[in-house]
Amino acid sequence: MAKRIGVLTAGGDAPGLNAAIRGLGKAAVGHHGMELIGFVGGVRGLAEDRWIPLDHSSLSGILTAGGTILGTGRDKVHKMIVDGEPRDVIPTIAEVVERNKLDCVVMLGGGGTAKNALRLHNAGIPVVHLPKTIDKDIAHTDNTFGFSTALEIATDAVDRLHSTAHSHHRVIIAEIMGHKAGWLALGAGISGGADVILLPEIPYRLDSIVETIERRKGRGTNFSVIAIAEGARDVDATLELKAAESLIKSASSSQAKTLAKENYARIEDRHRENTFHLAREVEAATGLESRVTILGYVQRGGTPCAADRLLGSVIGSAAAELIKAGQTGIMVASKGDGAARVPLADVAGNLAQVPIHHPWIRTARDVGTGLGD
């Protein structure tokens, strides 16, 4: 009997999601003779058994579309908010999978989705995870669909900010997404010729940033562009956050862990306007008018670039092949020009940050870009 697959998209939207759905669907339905349904609204749609059939007609024309035709959400399967209260819906999802006679649930998403997938896998539900995120912070995959398009958008923004910085003799600080990983800011900063790049992986010092700007002023260049990752922090803030993280890990009871997490959240909240605070400090130290541009969700939107369409298609079609062979409990990773399977247990909870000796880091230093350290 032909296999029957369910697919959903979860977490933040990203360019290339529809390409991956199409790659999975075209291969599963057209090449392997499977049946495909799509759950609407992420894991909540799965728990509520809300789905639409996905066939050649519904998959047609979505390759170039941004966002996701299935909709998305950030619910957690072990504590989904139902009637105002957190509830473990894993047993409910198991019933939905059995009722729909599904041989596999394919979950397209980032790190949170990998954790959800592992929880379902551990409960005996057949799942496959496809790595999507503009942050490129998922472990054990060379790339994630969404990253290349976001990189192009962020690079274009840094390019454009140069003319304003030059015209007004200003320091322009561009805040770039990436959560706790600096891939996007680093790639866009190098590609766009930023003068300073600040990353979560390298805590910065104000005097180092000022030194880079003053060195440029000494050469007669009275403007600078700084690309800062949203998770970048100075040395003091980094130490404060690490101490708060240690309290969470060392908590001896659930109550103590809850209090430690609340403390960590308060510290994070204090640093949410970090980029604006940095702009004020830079202006005071250099005498150059400093302005902030936060790119925000514009980096997620729009038509996926060719690289993300290609990657989504490769990963999606590879998933269909692996499911046909009975492989579940895995992430379908990007490896070179193809794909490889990685156990979900190796992926969930692991963050892929930029290694401090990565070639991109060395390149930035070699071309004279300040990294704030």
DSSP 8-state class, residue 133: -
Q: Is 85 exposed, middle or buried (0-12, 13-18, 19+ CB in 10 A)?
A: exposed
Main-chain phi, psi angles of 370, to 5 degrees: -80, 140
Asked if residues 191 and 155 have their Cβ atoms less than 8 Å apart, the reply is: yes
Tokens standing for 363?
A: 């390149």
Closest CA to 300 of 40, 8, 11, 7: 11
Which candidate in 103, 135, 137, 308 is catalytic? 135
* Separation between Cα atoms, residue 26 and residue 320, nearest integer Å: 9
List 87's β-bridge partners, or say none: 80
Examine the residue annotation and report whether 135 is marked as an active-site residue of this protein: yes
Question: Which contiguous run of DSSP H or E holds residue 332?
Answer: strand 330-335
> Which residues touch 272 (CB under 8 Å, ≥6 apart)?
none
* Separation between Cα atoms, residue 360 and residue 349, nearest integer Å: 25
* Separation between Cα atoms, residue 161 and residue 330, nearest integer Å: 42
Q: Which residue has the tokens 């992420």?
A: 42
Q: Which residue has the tokens 């933040």?
A: 12
What is the crossing angle of helices 183-192 and 147-168, to 10°? Answer: 50
* Separation between Cα atoms, residue 198 and residue 32, nearest integer Å: 47
* Separation between Cα atoms, residue 220 and residue 116, nearest integer Å: 54
Asked if residues 209 and 371 have their Cβ atoms less than 8 Å apart, the reply is: no
Q: Which residue has the tokens 């070179």?
A: 336
* Separation between Cα atoms, residue 44 and residue 116, nearest integer Å: 12
Residues tagged active-site: 135
